[in-house]
Chains A and B, each alone.
Chain A
Amino acid sequence: MNQTISSIIRHPMFWVLLFFFFLPFLLPLIGGYTYLGTEVLIWSIFALGFNILLGYTGLPSFGHGAFFGIGAFVMGIIQLRVIQGIWIPILAGTLAGAFFGALVGLFLAKKRGIYFALLTIAFSQMFWFISWGWDSMTGGEDGLSGIGRLPVGIPGVFSIDLKDSLNFYYFVYVLFVVSAILIWIIVHSPFGRTLQAIRYNETRTKCIGYNTAVYKWTSFTVSCVFAGLAGALYALLRNAAFSDSMHWTQSGNVVMMVLLGGGMTNFFGPILGACVFIVLRDLFSSVWEHWMLVYGLLFMFVIIFLPEGILGFFKREKGQGKVFASKQ
């Protein structure tokens, strides 16, 4: 029993989850607010899931914003038109992300490298156009507003008001904990090991007898499950869903978070990346009207000077190998 407890305490996951448990109380000390913390959690779910594909399988998707957006829109449409509630719309958003991810994944399963990246961009643009043009369903340019954070609980027993931002934070926190542990289990399972084998050498993995196309497809779909979930939660956070969520800049953001934190070398990289990214964006956008300029330059700076991310940078100091070695 004691051993179990001490092994839990030694696990880095424990400390990460503990940190986020107390985050709402720490945020005001540094001038933040709860909304920001919730946003970090949501993007962490998205980035952790995305890292299954990018960091562990080594497939460069630049179109995951689409599945995030699909999660947001489907969540909103189901809640506004089909069923009042919160769990079923969230589930619907998550499943929709998974479904469209699985569909697009069929086209991608045998691709890699530049071709993979090109196709993910093209498909995500298609979804963006659909969300933008189908205004009777998605609200088009104005977006889908009126998505409500309805109370959760057991009718007649208890009910939690999610309109309160702190309550909503812990609602997202619970889903974050479940997602993070699930993703940890996935990447450390035999399945996850196979994905890493594909990243190191796909041809060899194929020769050993693994059907790499099926593994790549599954990896893509699983990452889209978390993109859909994050999107659905994001719609709840903003009480609306916008086509912007599907734009390529959003796809770039999640890639940036993974790289910035060092997701290529560390499981927790995407979480750190999401924290740094969201805080920096909040800082810039409140200071200067033309913050996009700084933001774009930051992207370039990170790629040029910190290509292995923050955690990767410290690891390199200790003399460890490079992750993205030259391919030629």
Chain B
Amino acid sequence: MISLAEVASQLLNGLVLGFLYALIALGFMLIIGVMGVINFSHGVLFAWGAYFAFTLRPLIGFWPALLISPFLVGIMGLILEIAVRRSYGKDPLFGLLLTSGSAMALEEIIRMIWGSIGHTFAAPSFVSGPFDFGFMPYSKYRLFLAGLSVILILLVWLFLEKTPYGAIIKAGAFDSEMVMALGIDLRRLRTIVFGMGTALAGVAGVIAAPLWSIKPTMGGEAIMPAFVVVVIGGVGSFWGSILGGLIVGIGTSISVMFMPRTSMIIMYVLMAIIILIRPRGIMGEKSILE
């Protein structure tokens, strides 16, 4: 018999995981939505974020590392964009192959610098240990992670919805030719979006590091749910990504409770069901991407 505390803690796990997946998928989706490029390097940049934090934290502490690591990853993204630029507007395979090439190269560089073995990354001391809910203890760090993810997601939302830059980005995704005709430098806009998307991968990598151990292949664990989340939520939909992330997170943790062996498969099953009912994802609309 499964106890109430167990159910509650698994549901909470699902929620935490869901927000993390949503954060990872958000940066990934921004790049697909604006440039039509499936960035395969998103996962490895996530890993780079974690590794940067791993190196920086002993030197400058947790909070500065949390700020600087995504910044560095963002700069890597800006450099990568110079190559990716070539594939804009072409068949999606070009962007895919280009970024999968850079993913392999960047993963190998991680191995060269930090080695192939994994490292642990302890949670910062102010959120280590369990938090007592009364009827069950729960990891403080997971709560912290969920809170931080929600704050970051809200910041991205505010940026997209409430600033003129956000309006330009959305307009650029909708009709790039019109935006160019209005005299806006689309190239610079795309560069900025790419940098932002990769920086989001970096920050997700830092905050996920204490949860998953740091290893060169950790990027794969991050990017696989991102694909599913974007398909479930609908390409180009902000809230779709959040909803998709939560569905995948909670679905995964519920299946851990009943059939632990299927927990990694369940998101694909959910995806298959959802695209049968809604071919463009829950909140997807017909767009130029098809």
Contact = CB atoms under 8 A, between A and B. Distances in A.
B101 A118 contact: no
Given A118-B235, A304-B86, A111 B105 contact: no
B255 interface: no
Nearest to B44: A296
B38 A249 contact: no
A125 B231 CA distance: 14
A126 B268 contact: yes
A114 B268 contact: no
Contact of B231 (A60, A122, A248, A328): A122
A298 interface: yes
Interface in A251-298: 252, 255-256, 259, 290, 292-293, 295-298
A307 B65 CA distance: 39
A8 interface: no
Interface string A185-213: 00000000000000000000000000000
Given A107-B276, A296-B103, A303-B87, A118 B231 contact: yes
Contacts of B94: 303, 307, 324
B290 A252 contact: no
B83 interface: yes
A76 to B, nearest CB: 21
Secondary structure class of chain A's binding surface, majority of residues: helix
A129 B269 CA distance: 12
Contact of B101 (A115, A296, A326): A296
Interface stretch (B126-134, B191-199, B205-213, B222-230): B222-230
Contacts of B111: 290
A299 B264 contact: no
B233 to A, nearest CB: 11
B235 A115 contact: yes
Contacts of B227: 118, 121-122, 125
Contacts of A115: 231, 235, 280, 289-290
B261 A133 contact: yes
B93 A129 contact: no
A326 B90 contact: yes
Nearest to B100: A252
Given A113-B289, A248-B100, A130 B265 contact: yes
A122 B289 contact: no
Contacts of A327: 89-91
B38 A118 contact: yes
Contact of A300 (B83, B228, B230, B275): B83
A300 B98 contact: yes
B263 to A, nearest CB: 9
Given A256-B97, A303-B101, A113 B290 contact: yes
B96 interface: yes
A114 B272 contact: no
Given A107-B272, A107-B276, A112 B103 contact: no
A126 B290 contact: no
B268 to A, nearest CB: 4
A303 B105 contact: no
A67 interface: no
A247 B248 CA distance: 21
A249 B289 contact: no
Given A107-B276, A119-B275, A255 B264 contact: no
Interface string B232-252: 000100000000000000000
B90 A324 contact: yes
A252 B176 CA distance: 29
Contact of A249 (B100, B276, B280, B288): B100
Given A295-B101, A324-B90, A324-B91, 12 more contacts: A62-B96, A114-B36, A114-B38, A117-B92, A119-B275, A126-B268, A296-B107, A296-B108, A299-B100, A300-B98, A300-B101, A304-B86
8 closest A-B pairs by CB: A299-B101, A296-B105, A296-B104, A126-B268, A293-B108, A292-B108, A60-B93, A328-B89
